[in-house]
Amino acid sequence: MKNAQINLPWLVRIKAGALQRLGLYLARPGLTPVGLFHSEGLLESILNVARQSLRDHGVATALLHEVKEASIEEAVHLLNAVPSVCRALIGVGGGKALDVAKYTASLAELPYFAVPTSLSNDGFCSPQASLTLEGQRRSLPTGLPEAVVVDLAVCQRAPRMLWHSGVGDLSAKFTAVSDWKLAFQRKGVPVNDLAALMSDASVFQFMANPVSDEQGIQLLATALMLNGVAMEIAGSSRPASGSEHLISHALDMTGARQRLHGLQTGTAAYLVSSLQRGSHHERIGELFTRTGFWESVRKQPFSKEEWRIAVERAPSVKEDFYTILSEGDAWPEFARMIADDKALSGCFE
Ligand SMILES: [Zn+2]
């Protein structure tokens, strides 16, 4: 059985100084004017570099918008605000602005340029947008961005906690792929081997050099991007999202104190991987020790009680989504680890 046609990004630039060339990337295929959406509170200096680059290459900005909330309501409002002359939409900044820009571009059927300024999760190049509808978080299909522009120098200046969040979200791929294979064994859910392989391989590449220097950030950006592409190839979120994401979604839904997505999914992946009994638990543990991941978690420890409730609800967060959490109550083992595992000391209160 062949996959239906998939659309992959036609421009990928992951290098230092890429932001200064943004205008060129749009000017070459004649994409002007554009709409530019950026994060609330994005450093003026970063926004100025982007805007100056557009001007330098004769790319007009027909709409400039600061994204304050990642909701479907906001995206629909923006869809009406996008001038009909716009030839492309650009999202510059963090998750919210990118999700809103990506979804609005897909509604408007315009090419979308993703320009993340930090690497806190794999959403910048995933085929879906995470937005709220009447306050409830939803994942909406969008297709992949047409272009991904990651300026390594800009990402390197982002707070370390955001980098840790990206590391956490990447580690979730180990547990996600294990869950996918389990769903195949138990329920016959088809596994796309190429997508699973890409997802796995990208993590190993980064793990060979898990540091936050320019090369390490390049590997992390590439790995997170390939995870998004793996989702598109598989036609599902399975390569990048398993039981660890169910726990994270449950935390978001149950009104737990907000933490960075990747700190939640990474910590959940560490716990879940111990239930999965493979070699992943040790690997994730080593990755987190080498990168100092737990330091960022300890800065704002999780609530054990909020996690207990989330773990209880997690199996029913998504319909027909078999994972290791479907096999029985995971909490007793998690509680034991939270109490005894030295790596987790100070991470929960
Ligand atoms: Zn994620």
CB atoms within 10 A of CB 56: 14
Helix (H) or strand (E) holding 296: helix 293-299
CA of 227 to the centre of ligand 1 (A): 10
CA of 186 to the centre of ligand 1 (A): 24
Rounded mean pLDDT of 229-241? 94
CA of 123 to the centre of ligand 1 (A): 7
CA of 232 to the centre of ligand 1 (A): 15
Task: List the one residue out of 46, 38, 152, 149 whose CA is nearest residue 98.
Answer: 38
CA of 53 to the centre of ligand 1 (A): 31
CA of 56 to the centre of ligand 1 (A): 36
CA of 43 to the centre of ligand 1 (A): 24
- Tens digits of per-residue pLDDT, 249-283? 999 988 778 899 999 999 999 999 999 988 899 99
CB 38 within 8 A of CB 97: yes
pLDDT of residue 4: 66
pTM for this one?
0.95
CA of 318 to the centre of ligand 1 (A): 15
Task: List the one residue out of 19, 114, 102, 113 whose CA is nearest residue 57.
Answer: 19
Q: Quick check: 322 pLDDT over 70?
A: yes
Q: Say what percent of the chain tops pLDDT 70.
A: 99
CA 177, distance to chain mean position in Å, is 16
CB 162 within 8 A of CB 121: no
Q: Quick check: 3 pLDDT over 60?
A: no
- Tens digits of per-residue pLDDT, 87-121? 999 999 998 999 999 999 999 999 999 999 999 99
Distance CA 279, CA 182 (A): 15
CA of 248 to the centre of ligand 1 (A): 9
CA of 76 to the centre of ligand 1 (A): 24
What's 258's DSSP letter? P
Distance CA 284, CA 268 (A): 11
- Tens digits of per-residue pLDDT, 120-162? 999 999 999 999 999 888 899 999 999 999 999 999 999 999 9
pLDDT of residue 2: 55
Distance CA 32, CA 58 (A): 8
